[in-house]
Chains A and B, each alone.
Chain A
Amino acid sequence: MQKRISNLPFQGTKEQEEKLHAVIAKHKGEQGAVMPVLHEAQEIYGYLPVEVQTMVADGLGVPLEEVFGVSTFYSQFSLTPKGKYNISVCLGTACYVKGAAAVLDRVSQILGIQPEECTQDGLFSLTACRCVGACGLAPVMTVNDDVYGRLAPEEVDGILAKYQA
């Protein structure tokens, strides 16, 4: 999958950096440590800008090229910042057959952004994901940890309005 790379300036804090170094120290020397560290780094920063990846590479003593290879390979790792509310529209088969594409179109239309993008004000970001495993509730959309199932496109307006308030 092609990844978008953020060109926003990096705004990491000292505390975040300390947390990251603690994570690196915990996993250093472990077999196959790059992925667990990237998972935790993404939890700390919300995304994986190249500055963070450089710290991971230096900390674990692996080439940056290898870290970058891993971070761009997996769809869970994001190189762009997420909005305060990340909207994920499931495009798994069960959801697709039940009209998930129309739900995604509606979100995209209301917010004026495409999947993998973030709104100007940083409030919403949008992702099209592959199956959250709640196929019984298709079509499904999640906003951070809230799950909305059995959706019709016109319900999207009301749901987004709740978060805009």
Chain B
Amino acid sequence: MNFLSYNAQWVLLSTLLLGMAAGVVGVLSYWKRQSLMSDTLSHAALPGVVLGFIAVGTKQLPAMLIGAAISALIGAWLVLWIRSSSRVKEDAAMGIVLSVFFGLGIMLLTYANRMPGGGQSGLDNFIFGQAASMVRSDVMLLTILAISVIFLVYLFFKEWKLALFDPSYAQGLGLSVKSMNILYTSLLVLVIVIGIQAVGVILIAALMIIPAVSARYWTDSFGRMLVLSAIFGGGAGVCGTLLSTLGKGWPTGPFIVVAAAAMFVISLLLGTSKGLLVILYQRKRAQLKRQNTILAEQAVEGGRG
């Protein structure tokens, strides 16, 4: 199997870690009830990626990632500002930022593609993701970033739990919810930055939404949900990457998303905590119990009569 070359192994490792990082941050988003914020910010990252390229002139990943982070953060701040200081609601604010930033990104992309060397830069890969286009140094950088994301979630485990479950109580205990929010947004942006090359700006959100929701079907515990979501995310990353290597020029992102969606469907059906089969079984049992009590009551009443 020649696709498991030395480079391919590294690429696999980085999509595994990317999936895990997205999985754990996704759990935070799930409990913040902000699942679509990741979608908004990833679209908002596009102009930054291209500006990073334009500024440096060649395809240098670090510059593009810094650009992505800055423009995603501006997007996050704009959503917050629009929502808090006008009657426009959060969903519309997200839609505005998402589409306007993406439009700006496309404008810049058209411009960059005309620059010398721009056409071959593979900038278009940032839209749907092309894991195979990563070189060794990119992989190293992304791996380190992904590990630090996972580590930061682990390090503040009990703070997250408190801040997500009961923010006002957390505030009362002296935990700064504001700094937790800043940390959360930074982690969100970091995952987007790590993910855009492999999964692309359009679909990276899926990797932050689907594993977390799938994990919810297996457990009620926050800790176990984090672990499971990391496993699902990492699994989807690896499966999707392998699948996309089967054809020439196939984009990685969509395959990762479909792999994650398959895990969601399995969780939805078989999940031990809220899965459909479990609920069906419980409902049947409750119904039987109710019928039995009615029968018993009737028997008692009949006895009286």
Q: Do A and B bind each other?
A: no
Residues of A within 8 A of B (CB): none
Residues of B within 8 A of A (CB): none
